[in-house]
Amino acid sequence: MNENRARQAARLIWDHWSSGTVIDALPLDCRPTTPQEGYAVQAMLPSLSQRRVLGWKIAATSSVGQAHINVTEPLPGRLLEGQVYPPGATIPSQGNRMRVAEPEMTFTLGSQLSPRSRPYELQEVLDSVASLHPALEIPDSRFADFTVAGQAQLLADNACAHHFILGEPAPDSWRALDLSQHSVHAVVTQATGHQWSREGTGAAVLGDPRVALLWLVNELTRQGLSLQAGEFITTGTCMTPLQIIPGDAVMADFGALGRVSMRFDNEGVGPR
């Protein structure tokens, strides 16, 4: 795929993203068919949208999630300016067909991680982390049926990135915890007042959120990309995604790591 075709595909993705509309598939003349081509399309999104990258996400960090969208490995995506909301925000529901919230553990980098000839080791990546945050991802896709789009098109679609809430930093004592066994409790409160809840752990995220963090760092640097100080990496949902409808409120309790909440509605303010 040449640069013009990658830009054409990225423009279509961004146009549908902006309008809240969907497509069945990208046109054949600009449809990525390999992961590398999907990455090339995704890389065009920040410049086309004129939005800077605030962080990175990982989709499909469990075998169940991979089976659901018919891929065999996780998918990285960029979280752009205008997608990231503060804790407690109201998130717009217009155009969102997935309608799920995903409680996630998110790491903010304190130093840059650049491409190099050998893979990064876990401890050196953890040493580069400035903070850990509880978070909620509200994903979506620009494809009418994202379960059949395939890996290359899903990468072009920014790994179903849409909206994201970054919670307050956790106490630094998180470094002594076994995040793979750390429990997360989520509660959905409906407009009627009815509540339901779900439990999860860090083990849902490639066995351990720190493993997912390391995977993303090595995947992106292998692609020749640098991760910048101040960017965050959200590692994937700690539980089966929470199905939500407009009017629902979501609270995810990460215990010693803190809480994060949101409301899903037809209005929303406060992205950065």
Q: Buried (b) or exposed (e) across 29-65, using 16+ Cβ within 10 A?
A: ebbbeebebbbbbbbbbeeebebeebbbbbbbbbeeb
pLDDT of residue 78: 98
Q: Give the mean pLDDT of the chain.
A: 96
Question: How far is the CA of 165 from the CAs of 55, 105, 221, in angstroms?
Answer: 12, 11, 25
Residues 89, 109: contact at Cβ < 8 Å?
no
What's the CATH fold of domain 51-265? Fumarylacetoacetate hydrolase; domain 2 (3.90.850)
Q: What is the DSSP letter of 203?
A: G
Region for 189 from its dihedrals, namely left if φ exceeds 0, alpha if ψ lies in -120 to 50, beta otherwise? beta
Every domain of the chain and the residues it spans: 51-265
- pLDDT at site 119: 98
Taking each helix axis as running N to C, give the angle between helix 3-19 and helix 35-49, from 0 to 180 degrees, rounded to the nearest 10.
60
* Number of Cβ atoms within 10 Å of the Cβ of 178: 11
Whether the pLDDT of residue 196 is over 80: the answer is yes
pLDDT tens digits, one per residue of 259-270: 999 999 976 545
pLDDT attached to residue 86 = 97
Distance, in Å, from the CA atom of 190 to the CA atom of 248, rounded to the nearest integer, reads: 4
Q: Dump pLDDT digits (tens) for 29-41.
A: 999 999 999 999 9
